[in-house]
Amino acid sequence: MHLNLAYRWFCRLGLDGKVPDHSTFSKNRHGRFRESDILRQLFESIVERCMAEGLVSANGFAVDASLIAADANKQRSVPSSDWDPGEIKDDACRAAREYLATLDDAAFGAASPVTPKFIARSDPAAQWTGAHKGHAFFAYATNYLIDTDHGVIVDVEATRAVRQAEVGASRTMVERTEERFGLKPGYLVADTAYGSADNLAWLVKQKRITPYIPVFDKSTRTDGTFSRSDFTFDPEADCYICPAEKKLVQFRRAYATPRTGVGADGTRRYRASKKDCDVCELKARCCPNAVARKIPRDLEEDSRDVARALAGTPEFETACQRRKKVEMLFAHLKRILRLGRLRLRGPCGAKDEFLLAATAQNLRRLARLRPPEFEMAA
């Protein structure tokens, strides 16, 4: 900076301006910038500029998460059985103190009750993950919510690299975008990880957003017997109809004290009559090892049915094509912006880097709007 005029201009220093100590920049980044929330304000001001330029229509949003390696090594980690958060003292490193501060945060410590196999002492909030099917590593997840028209990132969130945290982040981002910019998408497109019954019910019933999301469903059988999809649900009669046209119901008699029918696992169970199954020709293909067939139904199955009905429609296929824009942004983030590994530690470090990277990617979108005359003159 002492010698380079461009750097002086960028930092608004005159030719004889005193150059601050180099540590001023990192101190600002770790302290003042973080407390002032300036990086989020910067990101949001760029989104507003994109909206003003007509780059955000809110016809539809896509959401996805990508893993970014944390600045933590396996060699310096400990098995979680040997880890005690109580050993973190007041004078511990910033990342360790942030870990304690985010233990109850749904995006970090409280995201999942499952304890990871290893904990990094230098960055305990980083998640040990083998999600890439190759070697496991410590990582954070960057979550993008994008407008599918022009691929503008309308919100970004840092979380632990676990599915529950990523799904929670998608809800946080949808609500924050509505609150900050008044943007509510007509549809949300995402992969199966976001297709749980709870999440679909939140989208369909609470937010009234069309879910172009494959249903997260483990009910398909692979042993040749009928799956749940071979049974048809009749909502008016509140029963399933089996392939032999018999009814599966919750109750076969009236109870003096009416029952809710909801089991401990939060599902309703519909049962076939033993009399029907005993004489059924299809029993070997239906319930060869049981007296009668049972079908569990999630309390939010109606929302899953909405998503199932949408799957395979031309609109669903178009939305899935548009979802690729979020994957392209992640590829750009890692290959061009080179954010394959974080430089800052702790949840706040990850938040800052993800916010800055998303801001840079939106600025790139805006720059593409340059009028043709400007390009020719340049």
Neighbouring C-alpha atoms within 13 Å toward the C-beta of 205: 13
Nearer residue to ligand SF4 within complex by CB, 150 or 283: 283
Q: What do you get for the CA distance between the two ends of the chain, in Å?
A: 27
* Cβ-Cβ contacts under 8 Å for 228 (sequence gap 6 or more): 219, 220, 295, 296
Nearer residue to ligand SF4 within complex by CB, 69 or 272: 272
Nearer residue to ligand SF4 within complex by CB, 205 or 294: 294
CA angle 325, 327, 332 (to 5 degrees): 95
Tell me how far, at minimum, the Cβ of 234 lies from ligand SF4, in Å: 14
Tell me how far, at minimum, the Cβ of 276 lies from ligand SF4, in Å: 4
- Alpha carbons 263 and 242: distance in angstroms, whole number: 22
- For residue 122, with 0-12 CB atoms within 10 Å meaning exposed, 13-18 middle and 19 or more buried, which class applies? middle
Distances (CA, A) of 87 to 84, 90, 262, 309: 6, 10, 44, 52
Among the listed residues 13, 244, 337, 360, the single contact to ligand SF4 using CB under 6 A: 244
Tell me how far, at minimum, the Cβ of 69 lies from ligand SF4, in Å: 50
Nearer residue to ligand SF4 within complex by CB, 16 or 245: 245
Nearer residue to ligand SF4 within complex by CB, 272 or 344: 272
Give the interface size with ligand SF4 as a residue count (CB under 6 A): 13
Q: Which stretch binds ligand SF4 (CB under 6 A): 50-58, 112-120, 236-244, 345-353?
A: 236-244
The site map against ligand SF4 for 154-193 (x = CB under 6 A) is ----------------------------------------
Q: Which of residues 266-295 bind ligand SF4 (CB under 6 A)?
A: 272, 276-277, 280, 282-283, 286-287, 293
If one asks whether residue 339 binds ligand SF4 (CB under 6 A), the answer comes out as no
Tokens of 300: 């939010």
Nearer residue to ligand SF4 within complex by CB, 152 or 286: 286
Residues making contact with ligand SF4 (CB under 6 A): 242-244, 246, 272, 276-277, 280, 282-283, 286-287, 293
